[in-house]
Amino acid sequence: MPKAALVCVGSELLAGQVNTHQAWLSVRLRRAGFDVVGESSVPDEVPAIRRALARALAAADAVIVCGGLGPTFDDLTREAAAAALGRRMSLRPALWKAILQRFARYHLAVPEENKRQAHVIAGAKVLANRAGSAPGQLLRARGRTLVLLPGPPCEMYPMFEGQVLGRLKKTHARGLHPASFSVRLSGVPESAADEMLEPVRARWPQARFTILASGGEVSFHALTVESSDLAARRVRARLRREILDAVSDFAHGEGEETLEHALGERLRRRGLTLAVAESCTGGLLGGRLTAVPGSSTYFLGGVIAYANALKVRSLGVPSRLLSRHGAVSAECAAAMARGARRELGASLGVAVTGIAGPQGGTAEKPVGTVFVAVSGPGRAETVRRLDVIGPRENVRSRAVTSALRLAYDALA
Amino acid sequence: MPKAALVCVGSELLAGQVNTHQAWLSVRLRRAGFDVVGESSVPDEVPAIRRALARALAAADAVIVCGGLGPTFDDLTREAAAAALGRRMSLRPALWKAILQRFARYHLAVPEENKRQAHVIAGAKVLANRAGSAPGQLLRARGRTLVLLPGPPCEMYPMFEGQVLGRLKKTHARGLHPASFSVRLSGVPESAADEMLEPVRARWPQARFTILASGGEVSFHALTVESSDLAARRVRARLRREILDAVSDFAHGEGEETLEHALGERLRRRGLTLAVAESCTGGLLGGRLTAVPGSSTYFLGGVIAYANALKVRSLGVPSRLLSRHGAVSAECAAAMARGARRELGASLGVAVTGIAGPQGGTAEKPVGTVFVAVSGPGRAETVRRLDVIGPRENVRSRAVTSALRLAYDALA
């Protein structure tokens, strides 16, 4: 398998900014059949960038560099890459003209320092940037490919997918046909999913498997490299069948399909609507549901009933139910789900109530105790108790995932 | 300044898992006076880990390694570190006994492979793990310090703060007294904040400054290293005053104080309550407010009025207002804020309505058009229009931050 390495440039990555490029690029490179052998983050300094590039070029066939292509004094990736390859840079008049035109469109004066963005390393192919002013560059040197990409995700993502990935495959993975299949699971712990998939892993010693867990969802990815497109398609179909057979009860989507998207598709297909009632999640369930573009087709809205008075007033939870069972109870969750459905006129009501912590736990209901409930469709009603271990944000994200999963199962 | 380097071990970091250790450790090391000179992520393979450790030890005084201390076959950091230093490992009977006791407490059998976690590199100080079974190790070699930490944040964070950071300061930063000050800003773009702070930067050529922007918030950090504790305290006080003077209109907190926390403090101090009405953010505003433990003191809840019918029914927005001005309008935002306040009985109502995209934009109101409004306290009412550039998630997170800031300003 061809090897890829990542270099992330930017002093902010060594000062508290979370590096999201590493995960994003790794996933895409692996699916294309590359082995991602390492990543390094370096500050905006020419010697550090140059050293990292030289090391990466020695270790991998394709080196992807993000960041440091802006117009300011501390954008030094171009200079460092030219030095690492021992090549010159020169101004490309066409690029400079394009930058001038871009600024003119927004009626802005062009700062002189933007000229730096029109400098290109000898032999580089220029990658157009449709969302910003920094063009990317792609270079071939001693059998390696070096790609320079801008840092902002809205510029980097389309440039990589539209202009880079295909070229990398053609150059380094020609004749290699990756058979790649991913599935996303919910309602199952990572360790249990891992165990269910063990027989599949044992049957495919030549394949590479990855299992990742986050916020109550698990994703599982399988990859083999075949010698023909036909073989790859056959192997993928077999892998897909075996994997889905092993985890069928828990799979909600293939590829990168999120649980909120899968639930939305079930609602849309059946022409149903959904409303939420949230206590400890404070709106995060609605936030996840509306992360899906077009979710207004089936998502009506909901009530954030953080205070108990609102559970009574806005959701019609009987106050004697609250005083008898408490707000964190199966009874209250079910009443909240019914209330959301009834008060908001939806086909399904989904509710969450729990103790997110760090305070508020008791011996009977410790921090992490959460009840999720679904009312509908029709007369159906389900409630589930969770016992989540971990800090406040874990409890809340697990509660949201469980609520989404319960609604998804209600529409099976 | 002493130098620190990070090595993150784990194949999952090169397969899609987001690396959050890098940001977390960088912030803490910088505040302690270390220059973080680089980070690298490597797969679970001895040669790759060993090479990364050797490089880091050549470049930095302190090397922090996370991950690969678990009990399974692919936890190889111990072996790689021993190889990098040319030292032997041996079983520490006391550690093995502690692991046996830990399992006994949970009535679990101890897998034989857990014995690997009781192996310690010659000369290492063992770092106790109160949240898991993998002890950390701290080694001194040729004037450098090498620290091995477990991967899970709930184990790594307390071990680093409780047993590592103080030792690193004592060993490598003795006699260095960092003067460190951070401020968090909202309601101002990063570039404008940068410009306001330029005079401060110019007056302190010996200081290091970092500016980071994320989701509509900006954080600014200043650091100098002084020769005495007294000098450091004085310099910090001066830096603090100068920075706050430069950005006073936009600062909502010092250190790591979030905007939702600062707003909560203002509400709590004045004994006021808050309710929300959300359209395009779908619950994310409530989600942010309730990320603060104890927010139930002032946050009552809200209405997620994703469908227009709910804006009328649950928030009392007049339907002729909707038909005249549209749901994405200053008028609707103000009516939603008033409705949330009135219907939920809160001192303040905060509302968001907008077009998050990618669909739904018009020439007059393109994607990214958002109105945020605050009703209260008393008769006060403010509405603000935002024009956010970027994808759906950007529009939504910027809208939430702007709404929080508008409420914060309403309580000034």
Tokens of A126: 């220029």
Q: Does the pLDDT at position A113 exceed 80?
A: no
Distance, CA of A329 to CA of A332 (rounded, Å) = 5
pLDDT tens digits for range B188-223: 888 889 889 999 999 999 998 888 888 889 999 999
CB contact under 8 A, A282 and B283: yes
Helix axes of A46-59 and A77-85: crossing angle, nearest 10 degrees: 50
**Beta strands B299-305 and B369-375: pairing type?**
unpaired
Q: If you count residue pairs, one on A and one on B, with CB atoms under 8 Å apart, how many are there?
A: 244
Edge-to-edge strand order for the sheet containing A369-375? A381-387, A369-375, A348-354, A274-278, A299-305, B299-305, B274-278, B348-354, B369-375, B381-387
Query: What pairs with residue B374 in β-bridges?
Result: B350, B382
Q: Which residues of A are less than 8 Å from B286 in CB distance?
A: 278, 282-284, 286, 304, 306
CB < 8 Å to B304, chain A: 276, 283, 286, 301-304
From chain B, pick out residues whose CB is under 8 angstroms from the CB of A327. none
Asked if A283's CB is within 8 angstroms of B299's CB, the reply is no
Contact B372, B382 (CB under 8 A): no
Q: Please give, rounded to a whole number of angstroms, the shortest distance from the CA of B132 to a CA of chain A.
A: 13
Nearest CA in chain B to A223: B15
pLDDT by residue (tens digit) across A160-180?
A: 999 999 999 999 988 889 999
CB atoms within 10 A of CB B76: 24
**B294, B304, B391 member nearest A302 (Cβ):** B304
β-sheet bridge partners, residue B303: A303, B277
Superfamily of domain A3-172 in the CATH hierarchy: MoaB/Mog-like domain (3.40.980.10)
Q: How far is B96 from chain A (nearest CA, A)?
A: 24
- Contact at CB, B314 and A393, closer than 8 angstroms: no
Average pLDDT over residues A373-394: 93
Q: Is the pLDDT of residue A106 over 80?
A: no
Phi, psi (rounded to 5 degrees) for B211: -125, 130
> What pLDDT is recorded for position A256?
85
What pLDDT, on a 0 to 100 scale, did the predictor assign at position B59?
A: 96
Do the domains spanning B3-172 and B177-254 agree at the CATH topology level? no
Contact call for residues B59 and B25 (beta carbons, < 8 A): no
The pLDDT, as a whole number, for residue B99 is: 85
Cα–Cα distance for residue pair B410/B271, rounded to 1 Å: 14
Indicate the residue of B23, B307, B356 with minimum beta-carbon distance to A18.
B23
Q: Round to whole Å and give the CA distance between A266 and A262.
A: 7
Given a cut of 80, is residue A254 above it in pLDDT?
yes
Give the separation between CA A165 and CA B204, rounded to whole angstroms: 45
Q: The CATH number of A259-410 is which of 3.90.950.20, 1.10.8.60, 3.40.30.10, 2.60.120.640?
A: 3.90.950.20
pLDDT under 70: residue ranges of chain B: none
Pairing mode, if any, of strands B251-254 and B274-278?
A: unpaired
Record the tokens describing residue B155, joined without a space: 């184990």
Alpha-carbon dihedral angle through residues B160, B161, B166, B168, given to the nearest 10 degrees: 30
CA distance B98 to chain A (A): 22
pLDDT for position A384: 97
Partners of A221 on chain B (C-beta within 8 Å) are 15-16
The per-residue pLDDT of chain A, averaged, comes to 94
Question: Please, which pLDDT band fits residue A138 given cuts at 50, 70 and 90?
Answer: very high
Element (H, E) at B179: strand B177-186
Of B154, B301, B393, the CB nearest to A303: B301
Question: Which range, A207-221, A284-298, B385-399, has the best average confidence (pLDDT)?
Answer: A284-298
The shortest C-alpha distance from B70 to chain A (Å) reads 15
Q: Which residue from A minimizes the CA distance to B284?
A: A287
Q: How confident is the model at residue A298 (pLDDT cuts 50, 70, 90)?
A: very high
Which option is the CATH number for B177-254: 3.40.190.170, 2.102.10.10, 3.50.50.60, 3.30.70.2860? 3.30.70.2860
Q: How far apart are CA B174 and CA B80, in angstroms?
A: 30
Choose the closest CB to A210 out of B12, B41, B343: B12
**Could you say which of A22, A48, A296 has the minimum Cβ distance to residue B38?**
A48
**Nearest CA to CA, how far is A15 from chain B (Å)?**
5
Q: Does residue A290 carry a pLDDT above 80?
A: yes
Which tens digit of pLDDT belongs to each residue from A49-73?
Answer: 999 999 999 999 999 999 999 887 7
Best mutation target among A211, A306, A350 (most B Cβ atoms within 10 Å) is: A306
Give me the mean pLDDT over the A214-228 stretch. 89
Q: What are phi and psi of B62, to 5 degrees?
A: -125, 130
Cβ–Cβ of B304/A303 closer than 8 Å?
A: yes
3-class DSSP assignment, residue B187: coil
Name the residue among B179, B312, B215, B306 with its Cα closest to residue A296: B306
Distance CA B44, CA B78 (A): 11
Phi-psi region of A301 (alpha: psi -120 to 50; beta: other; left: phi over 0): left
Q: Looking at CA atoms only, how far is residue A208 from chain B in angstroms?
A: 11
Contact A41 B37 (CB under 8 A): no
Shortest alpha-carbon distance between residue A404 and chain B (Å): 15
* Closest residue to B296, CB basis, from A18, A303, A307: A307
Listed by start position, the domains of chain B span 3-172, 177-254, 259-410
pLDDT band at A136 (very low <50, low <70, confident <90, very high): very high
User: Looking at residue A260, what is its pLDDT?
Assistant: 98
Number of other CB atoms surrounding residue B185 within 10 Å: 26
Binary contact (B282, A299; C-beta < 8 A): yes
The phi and psi torsions of A218 (rounded to 5 degrees) equal -125, 135
Closest in B15, B287, B356 to A282, CB measured: B287
